[in-house]
Amino acid sequence: IFFINHNQIPQGRKVTYRKKVCTIRPTKAEVHRVRLTVGGDQLDYPGDPSSQCASLITTKLLINSTISTKGARFGTADIKNFYYGTPLARYEYMKIRFDEIPQEIADAYNLNPLVHNGYIFMEIRKGMPGLKQAGRIASDRLVKHLAPYGYVPVRHTPSLWPHAHRLITFTLVVDDFGIKYVGREHFDHLITALQDLYTVTVDVQGTKYLGLTMD
Protein backbone atom coordinates (compact mmCIF):
# COMPACT_ATOMS: atom_id res chain seq x y z
CA ILE A 1 0.00 0.00 0.00
CA PHE A 2 1.06 3.57 -0.67
CA PHE A 3 -0.31 6.59 1.15
CA ILE A 4 -1.77 9.10 -1.28
CA ASN A 5 -3.73 12.34 -1.32
CA HIS A 6 -7.49 11.80 -1.67
CA ASN A 7 -7.57 13.75 -4.95
CA GLN A 8 -5.20 11.18 -6.53
CA ILE A 9 -7.96 8.56 -6.57
CA PRO A 10 -9.15 8.07 -10.18
CA GLN A 11 -12.62 9.33 -10.95
CA GLY A 12 -15.32 6.70 -10.60
CA ARG A 13 -13.27 4.33 -8.44
CA LYS A 14 -14.65 3.10 -5.13
CA VAL A 15 -12.77 3.47 -1.84
CA THR A 16 -13.25 0.69 0.67
CA TYR A 17 -12.76 0.33 4.41
CA ARG A 18 -10.00 -1.44 6.25
CA LYS A 19 -10.67 -4.47 8.43
CA LYS A 20 -8.47 -5.60 11.30
CA VAL A 21 -8.39 -9.37 11.80
CA CYS A 22 -7.13 -10.67 15.16
CA THR A 23 -6.39 -14.39 15.50
CA ILE A 24 -4.56 -16.85 17.75
CA ARG A 25 -2.54 -19.35 15.69
CA PRO A 26 -0.77 -21.85 17.99
CA THR A 27 1.05 -23.53 15.06
CA LYS A 28 2.59 -20.31 13.78
CA ALA A 29 5.83 -18.66 14.89
CA GLU A 30 3.83 -15.53 15.68
CA VAL A 31 0.95 -16.91 17.77
CA HIS A 32 -0.99 -13.68 18.35
CA ARG A 33 -1.63 -12.13 14.94
CA VAL A 34 -3.22 -8.84 13.91
CA ARG A 35 -3.55 -8.20 10.19
CA LEU A 36 -4.86 -5.29 8.17
CA THR A 37 -7.14 -6.65 5.46
CA VAL A 38 -9.19 -5.07 2.69
CA GLY A 39 -12.98 -4.72 2.69
CA GLY A 40 -13.23 -6.35 -0.72
CA ASP A 41 -17.02 -6.57 -0.64
CA GLN A 42 -17.20 -2.83 -1.35
CA LEU A 43 -15.01 -2.97 -4.45
CA ASP A 44 -15.99 -3.62 -8.07
CA TYR A 45 -13.63 -6.00 -9.87
CA PRO A 46 -14.35 -6.15 -13.62
CA GLY A 47 -12.90 -9.63 -14.19
CA ASP A 48 -13.63 -13.12 -12.87
CA PRO A 49 -12.19 -13.25 -9.32
CA SER A 50 -12.71 -16.99 -8.77
CA SER A 51 -9.75 -19.36 -8.46
CA GLN A 52 -9.58 -23.13 -8.53
CA CYS A 53 -8.75 -25.32 -5.54
CA ALA A 54 -8.08 -29.06 -5.38
CA SER A 55 -10.99 -31.01 -3.90
CA LEU A 56 -10.66 -33.38 -0.96
CA ILE A 57 -11.34 -36.31 -3.32
CA THR A 58 -8.52 -35.25 -5.66
CA THR A 59 -6.11 -34.92 -2.75
CA LYS A 60 -7.08 -38.34 -1.34
CA LEU A 61 -6.66 -39.96 -4.75
CA LEU A 62 -3.17 -38.48 -5.11
CA ILE A 63 -2.17 -39.77 -1.67
CA ASN A 64 -3.62 -43.23 -2.45
CA SER A 65 -1.79 -43.19 -5.78
CA THR A 66 1.46 -42.46 -3.94
CA ILE A 67 0.93 -45.44 -1.64
CA SER A 68 0.15 -47.80 -4.53
CA THR A 69 2.97 -46.64 -6.84
CA LYS A 70 6.29 -48.43 -6.43
CA GLY A 71 9.06 -46.05 -5.39
CA ALA A 72 6.74 -43.06 -5.02
CA ARG A 73 7.17 -40.53 -2.22
CA PHE A 74 4.99 -37.67 -1.01
CA GLY A 75 6.21 -34.20 -0.15
CA THR A 76 4.57 -30.98 0.96
CA ALA A 77 5.38 -27.35 0.32
CA ASP A 78 3.89 -24.01 1.27
CA ILE A 79 4.10 -20.69 -0.52
CA LYS A 80 4.46 -18.09 2.19
CA ASN A 81 2.53 -14.85 1.73
CA PHE A 82 1.03 -16.12 -1.53
CA TYR A 83 -1.50 -13.27 -1.75
CA TYR A 84 1.02 -10.60 -0.78
CA GLY A 85 3.41 -9.24 -3.36
CA THR A 86 1.52 -10.18 -6.52
CA PRO A 87 1.36 -7.00 -8.65
CA LEU A 88 -2.11 -5.67 -9.42
CA ALA A 89 -2.80 -4.62 -13.00
CA ARG A 90 -5.66 -2.48 -11.64
CA TYR A 91 -4.92 -0.67 -8.38
CA GLU A 92 -7.50 -0.58 -5.57
CA TYR A 93 -8.15 2.08 -2.93
CA MET A 94 -8.76 1.98 0.81
CA LYS A 95 -9.07 4.45 3.69
CA ILE A 96 -8.36 4.31 7.42
CA ARG A 97 -9.12 6.75 10.21
CA PHE A 98 -6.08 8.88 10.95
CA ASP A 99 -6.58 8.56 14.72
CA GLU A 100 -6.03 4.77 14.39
CA ILE A 101 -2.50 5.24 13.06
CA PRO A 102 0.32 5.38 15.64
CA GLN A 103 2.05 8.74 15.77
CA GLU A 104 5.44 7.19 14.99
CA ILE A 105 4.03 5.86 11.71
CA ALA A 106 2.39 9.18 10.89
CA ASP A 107 5.71 10.94 11.49
CA ALA A 108 7.77 8.40 9.54
CA TYR A 109 5.56 8.70 6.45
CA ASN A 110 4.67 12.40 6.86
CA LEU A 111 0.95 11.63 6.86
CA ASN A 112 -0.42 14.81 8.42
CA PRO A 113 -0.63 16.72 5.11
CA LEU A 114 -2.59 13.79 3.59
CA VAL A 115 -5.44 13.78 6.14
CA HIS A 116 -8.85 14.45 4.57
CA ASN A 117 -12.01 14.54 6.71
CA GLY A 118 -10.22 12.51 9.37
CA TYR A 119 -9.06 9.77 6.98
CA ILE A 120 -5.85 8.68 5.29
CA PHE A 121 -6.20 7.18 1.81
CA MET A 122 -4.12 4.35 0.38
CA GLU A 123 -3.44 2.96 -3.07
CA ILE A 124 -3.13 -0.85 -3.09
CA ARG A 125 -0.64 -1.94 -5.74
CA LYS A 126 -0.11 -5.59 -4.77
CA GLY A 127 -2.30 -8.43 -3.57
CA MET A 128 -3.69 -8.35 -0.02
CA PRO A 129 -6.10 -10.60 1.92
CA GLY A 130 -9.64 -9.35 1.50
CA LEU A 131 -9.30 -8.49 -2.17
CA LYS A 132 -11.70 -10.77 -4.03
CA GLN A 133 -9.24 -11.10 -6.92
CA ALA A 134 -6.15 -11.79 -4.77
CA GLY A 135 -6.35 -15.57 -5.12
CA ARG A 136 -7.01 -15.41 -8.85
CA ILE A 137 -4.11 -13.12 -9.74
CA ALA A 138 -1.70 -15.12 -7.54
CA SER A 139 -2.87 -18.38 -9.14
CA ASP A 140 -2.66 -16.97 -12.68
CA ARG A 141 0.86 -15.77 -11.98
CA LEU A 142 1.87 -19.24 -10.82
CA VAL A 143 0.30 -20.92 -13.87
CA LYS A 144 2.17 -18.58 -16.22
CA HIS A 145 5.45 -19.09 -14.36
CA LEU A 146 5.38 -22.90 -14.25
CA ALA A 147 4.22 -23.50 -17.84
CA PRO A 148 7.71 -23.19 -19.41
CA TYR A 149 8.97 -25.82 -16.94
CA GLY A 150 6.38 -28.36 -18.12
CA TYR A 151 3.82 -28.01 -15.31
CA VAL A 152 0.29 -27.41 -16.61
CA PRO A 153 -2.88 -28.01 -14.56
CA VAL A 154 -5.28 -30.68 -15.79
CA ARG A 155 -8.13 -29.06 -17.70
CA HIS A 156 -11.09 -30.82 -16.07
CA THR A 157 -9.67 -31.57 -12.60
CA PRO A 158 -9.16 -28.35 -10.63
CA SER A 159 -5.66 -27.79 -9.24
CA LEU A 160 -4.16 -31.12 -10.28
CA TRP A 161 -0.78 -30.46 -11.89
CA PRO A 162 1.13 -33.23 -13.71
CA HIS A 163 4.43 -32.64 -15.48
CA ALA A 164 4.59 -33.19 -19.23
CA HIS A 165 7.11 -36.06 -18.94
CA ARG A 166 8.58 -36.14 -15.43
CA LEU A 167 7.32 -38.55 -12.75
CA ILE A 168 5.76 -35.88 -10.57
CA THR A 169 2.22 -34.63 -9.94
CA PHE A 170 0.97 -32.18 -7.35
CA THR A 171 -2.26 -30.72 -6.03
CA LEU A 172 -2.58 -27.12 -4.91
CA VAL A 173 -4.97 -25.90 -2.22
CA VAL A 174 -4.66 -22.11 -1.94
CA ASP A 175 -0.89 -22.01 -1.21
CA ASP A 176 -0.27 -25.60 -0.08
CA PHE A 177 1.33 -28.21 -2.34
CA GLY A 178 0.83 -31.96 -2.02
CA ILE A 179 3.49 -33.55 -4.25
CA LYS A 180 3.73 -37.14 -5.49
CA TYR A 181 7.07 -37.97 -7.11
CA VAL A 182 9.15 -40.99 -8.14
CA GLY A 183 12.75 -39.88 -7.82
CA ARG A 184 14.01 -36.97 -5.75
CA GLU A 185 15.36 -35.25 -8.87
CA HIS A 186 11.80 -34.58 -10.01
CA PHE A 187 10.85 -33.04 -6.66
CA ASP A 188 13.98 -30.88 -6.83
CA HIS A 189 13.07 -29.84 -10.36
CA LEU A 190 9.78 -28.39 -9.13
CA ILE A 191 11.49 -26.56 -6.28
CA THR A 192 14.14 -25.18 -8.64
CA ALA A 193 11.43 -23.98 -11.03
CA LEU A 194 9.73 -22.14 -8.20
CA GLN A 195 13.01 -20.59 -7.07
CA ASP A 196 12.99 -18.30 -10.07
CA LEU A 197 9.99 -16.48 -8.56
CA TYR A 198 10.05 -17.52 -4.89
CA THR A 199 12.77 -17.88 -2.26
CA VAL A 200 13.25 -21.37 -0.81
CA THR A 201 14.39 -22.52 2.61
CA VAL A 202 14.66 -26.09 3.86
CA ASP A 203 14.08 -27.33 7.40
CA VAL A 204 15.92 -30.26 9.02
CA GLN A 205 13.27 -32.74 7.90
CA GLY A 206 13.72 -31.70 4.28
CA THR A 207 10.30 -30.10 3.95
CA LYS A 208 10.36 -27.08 1.66
CA TYR A 209 8.78 -23.76 2.55
CA LEU A 210 8.45 -21.17 -0.17
CA GLY A 211 8.17 -17.42 0.31
CA LEU A 212 7.66 -14.54 -2.08
CA THR A 213 10.72 -12.48 -2.84
CA MET A 214 9.80 -8.91 -1.93
CA ASP A 215 11.78 -6.40 -4.02
- Summarised one tens digit per residue, pLDDT across range 28-41 is 788 998 888 999 88
What 3-state class would DSSP assign to 52? Answer: coil
Q: What global pTM score does this model have? A: 0.81
Distance between CA atoms of residues 42 and 16, nearest Å: 6
Residue 15, phi-psi category: left (phi > 0), alpha (psi -120 to 50), beta (remainder): beta
Q: Which residues contact 34 (CB under 8 A, 6 or more apart)?
A: 20, 21, 22
Residue 139 CB: number of other CB atoms within 10 A?
A: 21
For residue 72, pLDDT over 90 is answered with: yes
What 3-state class would DSSP assign to 172? Answer: strand
The per-residue pLDDT of the chain, averaged, comes to 88
